[in-house]
Amino acid sequence: MEPTIDLSFSTTSPLSSSTGWWNKDTVAVVTGANKGIGFALVKRFAEVGLTVVLTARDRERGERAVESLKEKGLHGVRFFPLDVSQPDSIKTFVSWFETQFGVLDILVNNAAVSFNDINQNSVEHAETVIKTNFFGSKILTESLLPFFRLSPSISRILNISSRLGSINKMRNPNIKSILQSKKLSVEQIEWVVNCFLEDVRGGTWESRGWPQVWTDYAVSKLALNAYARVLAGRYEGRGLSVNCFCPGFTQTAMTGGRGTHTADDAAQVGVRLALLPPEELPTGKFYIGEQSSKHYNQAISRVLEGFTVDLISLFNNTSLQFSACKMAGYNSLAPKTKNLIIAGGLSAFVFGVYFYTMKAVGGTDELQVAIDKFEEQKKQEAQANMAPKA
Ligand SMILES: NC(=O)c1ccc[n+]([C@@H]2O[C@H](COP(=O)([O-])OP(=O)(O)OC[C@H]3O[C@@H](n4cnc5c(N)ncnc54)[C@H](OP(=O)(O)O)[C@@H]3O)[C@@H](O)[C@H]2O)c1
């Protein structure tokens, strides 16, 4: 059975190295950590007693971030410059890491860029977005693979991803089926990403079924999720777990300060996930953190396995309903009434699957509302363009 994890931002249960599997020799690397969610993740890892490597592409910003943590009494944080979009910078970082640490327990691929405001969808910077968000994380991951400790505590990679990169945003059926294939390879993922960049260069990207919102960013995260899935499969049972986490609509520079919760809230959840006890740690999963509604609190522990919603909790709820029927004297009812109840139950079940799937994949926050509005507006524009002109 799947582990049930409370991913609501209100979770306050303490994390402590005295009860956990980690200690001060446990090493975590976080990319893009001079601000936003990355910085909050480093702070949280340091608070719970790990040794953390804070990396940032700008030396001054990175060093300032480490200083601000020291002022808070958090001394277990080291800094090294790392621009994930530059293979040479990755090389320099990895050789420094090898001499300074030699072993790695947790890698958080957090660094990312988007050049659009919420209602915009320019692909002017698509090359940079793909190079940073997908290739950057992938090349860094590959370069650090030899250093993972692979101990019984299980090493971990957590990609900070986005539900904008969910497979349901992809409308091109051929690409969708390639990405959903059980035999998906890294080469195929790169091929997909390069197809997108070709479409951008050729000016055909809008008609080719790529995600409609924050298209370049969505493709980069889609590729990152797919890569995590392939890597998780490769390392299954070999001491390395690979998962993705969407922090939800978070107040950072990327969203112009808008969002339903702070970077610290998102980091609380991200760090809980990264520090799950080895026996509860899944691999190849996509978690969505969310400002929780009552329903979402239950749905939140549900995960997307690869690209399929895992409905374990829903099945649990259904079995509860069946027990309730039993208690209400179901067995003594007439067969016709029983059939009616079964038909009603089945419809509710189908609706429930749809409802929970949409919720788990799509979410309900402000960003989603903005996305829906934007998509609706685009639809109307397309219809207006098709309407015969007077
Ligand atoms: N905020 C949200 O609502 C939201 C939602 C879903 C997913 N996410 C994801 O959460 C993660 C963190 O984003 P955020 O919201 O915290 O955004 P943010 O405040 O803009 O932080 C992004 C970080 O990435 C760094 N970065 C950018 N390009 C880099 C590069 N080439 N090499 C190294 N670092 C680089 C930035 O450094 P500089 O300061 O030098 O630019 C910054 O430290 C991202 O993966 C993002 O996609 C965010």
Q: What is the pLDDT of residues 103-152, one digit of tens each?
A: 999 999 999 999 999 899 999 999 999 999 999 999 999 999 999 999 99
Coil, helix or strand at residue 109: strand
Which CATH code fits 27-309?
3.40.50.720
Contacts by residues 91-96 (CB-CB < 8 Å, ≥ 24 positions apart): 91/143, 93/55, 93/140, 94/140, 94/143, 94/144
**Is any atom of ligand 1 closer than 6 Å to the C-beta of 260?**
no
Residues 6+ apart with CB under 8 A from 281: 3, 154, 156, 241
pLDDT band per the 50, 70, 90 thresholds, residue 288: confident
Q: 10 Å Cβ neighbour count for 67?
A: 11
**Ligand 1 center to 219 CA (angstroms):** 16
**Ligand 1 center to 252 CA (angstroms):** 8
**Is any atom of ligand 1 closer than 6 Å to the C-beta of 368?**
no
**Ligand 1 center to 40 CA (angstroms):** 12
Percentage with pLDDT > 70 across the chain: 69
pLDDT digits over 19-65, tens only?
Answer: 789 999 999 999 999 999 999 999 999 999 999 999 999 999 999 99
Lowest mean pLDDT, pick from 126-130, 191-195, 288-292: 288-292
| Helix/strand/coil percent split, the chain, to 5 | 55, 10, 35
pLDDT band per the 50, 70, 90 thresholds, residue 381: low
Contacts by residues 227-233 (CB-CB < 8 Å, ≥ 24 positions apart): 227/134, 227/137, 227/138, 227/141, 227/186, 227/189, 228/157, 228/159, 228/161, 228/284, 228/286, 229/184, 229/284, 229/306, 229/307, 230/184, 230/185, 230/186, 230/189, 231/141, 231/157, 232/283, 232/284, 233/284
Residues 6+ apart with CB under 8 A from 76: 24, 46, 49, 50, 51, 52
Give the pLDDT confidence score for residue 291 in this predicted structure. Answer: 55
Higher pLDDT, 292 or 78: 78
What is the residue with the minimal CA distance to atom 21 of ligand 1?
36
For tokens 């979410």, the residue is 363
Q: In angstroms, rounded to a whole number, what is the distance separating the alpha carbons of residues 63 and 99?
A: 20
Percentage with pLDDT > 90 across the chain: 65
**Ligand 1 center to 248 CA (angstroms):** 13
Q: In angstroms, rounded to a whole number, what is the distance separating the alpha carbons of residues 111 and 82?
A: 10
Residue ranges of the chain assigned to CATH 3.40.50.720: 27-309
| Nearest atom within ligand 1 for CA of residue 160 | 45
- For the four alpha carbons of 288, 289, 293 and 298, in that order, the dihedral sign comes to positive
What is the residue with the minimal CA distance to atom 46 of ligand 1?
112
Coil, helix or strand at residue 52: strand
Give the pLDDT confidence score for residue 303 in this predicted structure. Answer: 37
What is the residue with the minimal CA distance to atom 17 of ligand 1?
254
**Ligand 1 center to 32 CA (angstroms):** 6
**Is any atom of ligand 1 closer than 6 Å to the C-beta of 164?**
no
What is the residue with the minimal CA distance to atom 10 of ligand 1?
160
**Is any atom of ligand 1 closer than 6 Å to the C-beta of 84?**
yes
**Active-site residues: which are they?**
217
